[in-house]
């Protein structure tokens, strides 16, 4: 062996011994000068990104963590080797009654993340979980299994959250969400934002605003870029608290990859084959950092995210993907333009396979309520009051025929039990869905509740003047608000109640939360939507 090779091996061995101990050296096949340690020794606490659970089922759920002793470094403080991580699930928060346990491998190919699909648990029960790597132990999280399929259920209470631009505010809302004792949280997307770091942003009517904190780095393109952005986001302890408090159902919108992307098209006209490389990197990082099952592991630039969860006989939760299979936005996705191509028959939001799957699931459903949990507004609103009508072309309003097909399928069921849950708008909305929003019919097809952002858009205001004018022009819109926060839904067999939780400020930590409005709708009567 050459002298330079021996010196390089010695340097590698010393670095790994300092960071992880002899176990890492053994895993990498380097010679040991001393007996291997029984477990890795980390230079810094490896569970800095917290823990999470997701995709609950009647017999279990996914539990997640990711080892990252130095989260923002290029290799996030980990060697190019798999590391064993022990996990436990218990019936109590002191772990006196451990009901499941095992060992998983945190692999470098997946950013040293761990996704354990726990099974064999009792339905409808809370459980607590934690991880151990070497001598380091994570904090614990709480997750609840679903009730048994078809079992009678009198109540479910869950949260709705998303659009959490790290730079534009603190995650105080997540700390409050953690205290809600929700059965689950639906995250509709925009978990991260892909743009470069900025000290200042244009606050519109508020003028230039200095961001309360800054991302690190430029716009995201590579796997390393996306990994660091998730790491910086997930280091926030308020967000960690919300993840640890309840299982989350994760879906994405656009900013997990690129603003307003659909299918193989980005906003910059990048050749599809090149954009596919960026999508592949973004999707891998998304999977690595979310409590998703192996069924959602990306295959190239594609990922399976639409799926269903069933809460006893009370609620069927249909989780949709309105980005991956969508055709291009009409009129070059320009805001506030008159556009005839919104009536294109070949336009699609869900794509053929997902649309067929959803309609089939709704027809087969025997649940008291059916939920469409998705990303972009389905309510058809004229966005510029007056003689000229304009649409938000990045919503269902830009795809009238696709929207019509879905709402006709809902109408033809004749049950009046469909509720649509949405994000993206950075405002709270409650309203009715009609076949044609330009001339609402005498009876709505369903109701839609839109949740505001966690932080995106800054503090906001109680009600924006332009949205007041939009509500006056659109009678199907029953209420709106433009502050930050989240939504809580409480569902019983006869009544759906939505609470809009808002903060006065996201530019300072510790703001109080309040219930700004309650809206309710009776089962089978979407026309009954009103203040509760």
**Among 7-16, 276-285, 370-379, 452-461, which stretch is predicted with the lowest mean pLDDT?**
7-16
pTM of this structure = 0.92
148-184 pLDDT tens trace: 999 999 999 999 999 999 999 999 999 999 999 999 9
- Contacts of 334-340 with CB under 8 Å at 24 or more apart are 334/393, 335/390, 335/392, 335/393, 336/383, 336/384, 336/390, 337/390, 337/393, 338/388, 338/389, 338/390, 339/390, 339/391, 339/393, 339/398
- Cβ within 8 Å of residue 500, ≥6 positions away: 428, 430, 451, 452, 481, 485, 487, 515, 516, 517, 518, 519
CATH architecture of 156-531: 4-Layer Sandwich (3.60)
Whether the pLDDT of residue 301 is over 50: the answer is yes
Sequence length of the chain is 532
CATH architecture of 51-144: Sandwich (2.60)
- Cβ within 8 Å of residue 314, ≥6 positions away: 153, 154, 155, 156, 367, 368, 369, 491, 492, 493
Q: How far apart are CA 139 and CA 51, in angstroms?
A: 7
Ramachandran category for residue 344: left, alpha or beta (phi over 0 → left; psi -120 to 50 → alpha)? beta
The DSSP annotation for 224-289 comes to HHHHHHHHHHHT-HHHHHHHHHS-EEE---STTTSTT-BTTB-TT---HHHHHHHHHHHHHHHHHH
237-245 helix and 223-234 helix, angle to the nearest 10 degrees? 80
CATH 3.60.21.70 segments of the chain: 156-531
368-418 pLDDT tens trace: 999 999 999 999 998 888 878 888 999 999 999 999 999 999 999 999 999
40-79 pLDDT tens trace: 889 999 999 999 999 999 999 999 999 999 999 999 999 9
User: For the chain, what percent of residues have pLDDT higher than 70?
Assistant: 92
Whether the pLDDT of residue 333 is over 90: the answer is no
234-261 pLDDT tens trace: 999 999 999 999 999 999 999 999 999 9
184-214 pLDDT tens trace: 999 999 999 999 999 998 877 778 889 999 9
103-152 pLDDT tens trace: 999 999 999 999 999 999 999 999 999 999 999 999 999 999 999 999 99
- Cβ within 8 Å of residue 249, ≥6 positions away: 54, 55, 184, 185, 186, 187, 309, 317, 319, 373
Q: For the chain, give the mean pLDDT.
A: 91
CATH 2.60.40.380 segments of the chain: 51-144
């Amino acid at each position: 062996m050459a002298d330079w090779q021996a010196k390089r091996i010695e340097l590698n061995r010393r670095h790994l011994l300092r960071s992880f101990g002899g176990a890492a050296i053994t895993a990498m096949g380097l010679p040991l000068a001393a007996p291997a340690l029984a477990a890795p020794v980390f230079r810094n606490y490896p569970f800095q990104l917290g823990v999470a659970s997701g995709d609950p089922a009647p017999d279990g759920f996914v539990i997640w963590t990711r080892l990252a002793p130095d989260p923002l470094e290029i290799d996030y403080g980990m060697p190019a080797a798999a590391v064993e991580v022990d996990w436990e699930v218990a019936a109590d928060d002191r772990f006196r009654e451990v009901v499941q346990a095992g060992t998983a491998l945190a692999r470098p190919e997946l950013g040293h993340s761990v996704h354990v699909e726990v099974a064999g648990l009792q339905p409808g029960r809370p459980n607590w979980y934690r991880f151990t790597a070497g001598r380091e132990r994570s904090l614990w999280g709480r997750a609840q299994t679903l009730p048994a399929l078809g079992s009678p259920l009198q109540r479910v209470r869950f949260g709705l959250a998303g659009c959490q631009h790290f730079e534009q505010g603190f995650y105080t809302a997540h700390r409050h969400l953690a205290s809600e004792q929700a059965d689950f949280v639906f995250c509709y997307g925009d978990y991260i934002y892909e743009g470069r770091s900025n000290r200042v942003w244009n606050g519109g009517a508020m003028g230039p605003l200095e961001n309360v904190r800054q991302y690190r780095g430029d716009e995201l393109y590579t796997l390393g870029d996306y990994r660091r952005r998730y790491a910086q986001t997930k280091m926030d302890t308020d967000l960690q608290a919300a993840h640890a408090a309840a299982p989350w159902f994760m879906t994405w919108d656009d900013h997990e990859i690129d603003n307003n992307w659909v299918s193989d098209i980005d906003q910059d006209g990048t050749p599809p084959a090149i954009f596919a490389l960026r999508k592949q990197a973004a999707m891998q990082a998304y999977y690595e950092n979310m409590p998703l099952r192996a069924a959602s592991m990306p295959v190239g630039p594609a990922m399976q995210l639409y799926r269903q969860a069933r809460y006893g006989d009370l609620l069927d939760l249909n989780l949709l993907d309105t980005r991956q299979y969508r055709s291009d936005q009409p009129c070059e996705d320009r805001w506030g333009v008159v556009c005839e191509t919104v009536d294109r028959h070949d336009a699609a939001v869900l794509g053929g396979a997902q649309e067929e799957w959803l309609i089939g699931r709704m027809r087969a459903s025997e649940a008291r309520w059916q939920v469409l949990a998705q990303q972009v507004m389905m309510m058809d609103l004229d966005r510029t009051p007056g003689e000229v009508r304009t649409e938000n072309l990045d919503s269902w309003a830009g795809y009238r025929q696709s929207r019509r097909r879905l709402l006709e399928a809902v109408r033809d069921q004749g049950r009046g039990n469909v509720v649509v849950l949405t994000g993206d708008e950075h405002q709270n909305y409650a309203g009715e869905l009609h076949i044609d929003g330009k001339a609402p019919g005498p009876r709505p097809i369903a109701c839609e509740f839109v949740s505001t952002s966690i932080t995106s858009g800054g503090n906001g205001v109680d009600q924006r003047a332009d949205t007041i004018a939009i509500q006056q022009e659109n009678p199907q819109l029953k209420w709106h608000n433009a502050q930050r926060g989240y939504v809580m839904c409480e569902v019983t067999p006869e009544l759906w109640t939505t609470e809009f939780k808002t903060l006065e400020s996201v530019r300072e930590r510790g703001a109080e939360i309040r219930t700004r409005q309650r809206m309710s709708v009776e089962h089978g009567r979407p026309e009954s939507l009103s203040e509760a």
